[in-house]
Structure 1
Amino acid sequence: MDLFSQLILVISVTSFLSFQWLFHRVSPWVSTRVSPGFLRLADKQKVEWNSRTVSTLHALVVGLFCLYILLFDDAINEDPVWGDPTLVKINVGVTTGYLISDLLLIFYYWKAIGDKFFVVHHLAALYAYYYVLGHGMLPYFANFRLLAEFSTPCVNQRWFFEVLGYSKSSKPNIANGMAMAIVFFLVRIAVMPLYYSRMWSVYGTEAFYRVPPEGRAAWIISSICLDVMNVMWMHKIARGCYKVMRSARRHKVGTQENGKAE
């Protein structure tokens, strides 16, 4: 194992241990001081709260790094299949540590946060990232996938509002719901044509055939699996957003008819 591969291994292990520490120690300590409502939650809800807090932190760190790479890393933009994967490997190393940490927590606290779709999502991502970390292939596409993390904070905030007892028709909930639907659509659905057009542009090239068959399978299969789940989640988010806005509109009309201000 070369020196850089050892560094990536250290980054992944450090990431795993850091997210475990954030889940078990930092999130409970900070949450009790930031939100008094945290202490009133049931044990299962506290587990999910801590899990979502860590998830939000990971999303912000990795998402911003991903955006920086997409904007300024000329090597992977010019050669999306075999461009210099140094920065991408670092980012993917952090995400790999997080995914393994989250999988461990999901299995350990299955009754609280167990979800088969998240297990499939994490395993599909880890399967694809193995080829990035182990062989340095497909850095552009691996990094592009991390754009999806920008939707995570709004998704988690929706759950925080719900568990704290905020009305679905409250202004903070409606604002977050709209932001969640818009951001989720932009970073997970609207980018699909760009992602697959870039994939098609390299299909059949020499660089493409240098990727071993199992690597191509991991790339294509994991991409399809992740996007099928993204479409399913987008459908649920859109329906939920529509119901909340419709309920808020009814409430507003009812208030006006009664002649009372909210």
Structure 2
Amino acid sequence: MDALSGLPIGTLLASFFVFQLLFHFLSSWFSAAVSPGFNSLSFEKKIEWNSRVVSTFHSLVVGILGLYIFFFDEVTTADPFWGSSSISRVNIAIASGYLVSDLLALLLYWKVIGDKYFVIHHCSALLAFYIVLRDRVLEYIGNVRLLSELSSPFVNQRWFLETLKYPKFSRANVANGVLMTSVFFLVRIAAIPPLYHFLCSAVGTEPFVRLGPVTQVVWVVTSFVLDSMNVMWMVKISRGCLKVLSLLRDEKARGALQNGKLA
């Protein structure tokens, strides 16, 4: 029981059940109400749609709380290693409950939404968050990591637009694509150098040594795994965005040429 005594079990369980409720019931009701196209989707598309609605809701909750902690939580910002506050633990517990809920959904509907990279991502994050919550360490780092979730609404919106068959060159699609690429880079890629600079500069210091070898190894390994996937996804997103912008530019050039000939 001692290993679990520091964990906000109540928040984590509440988060898990809320996200399960959203996935299995509330998302379908909400989506049918706001998007007429939802009812015409196949069973498989509805499953992924609901998964992405839940992902978007989770991202907004933990992302906004993460921003508040980043700017205003003096306890964790003053001591990134050992500073501990209720709001930072609550945010990480909410994220952990979502990760468990999403892992369950992935396993239940593996043929529809199963993805080995998501499993690796979720398990790595859960391991890191377990250490953070159990020992009340590195809460600041954990919440900085959660800021990466601010890119997920744009990633999910791209899928929604494609599923609803919005034209590739529609304003909604192009604007979302540019925003998705920009925000993804800002919160997932641009954050990598400062995080690793902090990690490297911390090695050998008294607060770092106090973490112990297990926490040190978990911090390094999970960071490497998560950031490797972020870089991989960034490359794919950038290629897609550049391809669309290039095609859009060519389309405009052809249109201008045709208009010139007609004139």
Q: TM-score range by the shorter chain?
A: over 0.9
C-alpha displacement of 1:113: 0.5
Residue 179 of structure 2 is aligned to residue 179 of structure 1: yes
SS in 2 for 1:19: helix
Is 1:157 paired with 2:157?
Answer: yes
- For the residues of structure 1 that align with 2:88 and 2:132, how far apart are their CA atoms? 8
Q: CA deviation at 1:201?
A: 2.8
Counterpart of 2:249 in structure 1 is: 249
CA change 1:6–1:196 in 2 (3 A) is closer
Tell me how far apart the structure 2 counterparts of residues 66 and 246 of structure 1 sit (CA, whole Å).
35
Quote the sequence identity (%).
50
Equivalent residue, structure 1, for 2:58: 58
Instruction: Identify the residue that residue 40 of structure 1 maps to in structure 2.
Output: 40
Assess if the C-alpha contact under 8 Å between 1:85 and 1:137 holds in 2.
no
- Normalization by structure 1: what TM-score? 0.95
Between stretches 5-14 and 76-85, larger displacement belongs to 5-14
**Structure 1 CA distance, aligned partners of 2:190 and 2:6?**
37
Q: Which residue of 2 aligns with 1:204?
A: 204
Where do 5+ consecutive residues of structure 2 fail to align?
Answer: none
Instruction: Out of 186-195 and 78-87, give the one that drifted further.
Output: 78-87
What's 1:94 paired with?
Answer: 94
Measured after TM superposition, the shift of residue 259 of structure 1 is 2.2
In the other structure, the counterpart of 1:128 is 128
Q: Is the 8 A contact 1:148 1:187 kept in 2?
A: yes
Number of residue pairs the alignment of both structures matches: 260
- Matches of 1:242 and 1:218, distance apart in 2: 36
| C-alpha contact 2:7 2:133 (8 A) present in aligned 1 | no
**Aligned counterparts of 2:200 and 2:74: Cα–Cα separation in 1:** 20
Cα deviation for residue 7 of structure 1 reads: 7.6
Measure, in 2, the Cα distance between the counterparts of 1:255 and 1:39: 37
Question: In structure 1, what residue type is equivalent to 2:233?
Answer: W
In the alignment, is the contact (CA less than 8 A) between 1:19 and 1:101 conserved in 2? yes
SS across alignment from 1:81: coil
**1:226 paired residue number:** 226
Q: CA deviation at 1:243?
A: 0.6
Deviation per residue, 1:23-66 (Å, 9 max, x gap): 11111001111111111111111000000000000000100101
Structure 2 letter corresponding to 1:16: F
Amino acid at match of 1:194: P
1:100-134 CA distance string (max 9 Å, x none): 00000001001110000000000000010111111
Q: TM-score, normalised by structure 2?
A: 0.95
Measured after TM superposition, the shift of residue 87 of structure 1 is 2.1
Deviation digits for residues 195-238 of structure 1 (CA, Å, limit 9, x no counterpart): 11222232211111111211111111000100000000000000
Could you tell me how far apart the structure 2 residues matched to 1:256 and 1:206 are? Answer: 65
Q: Residues of 2 paired with 1:194 and 1:5: CA distance?
A: 32
RMSD: 1.7
Higher deviation after alignment, 59-68 or 249-258: 249-258
1:6 deviation in Å? 7.5
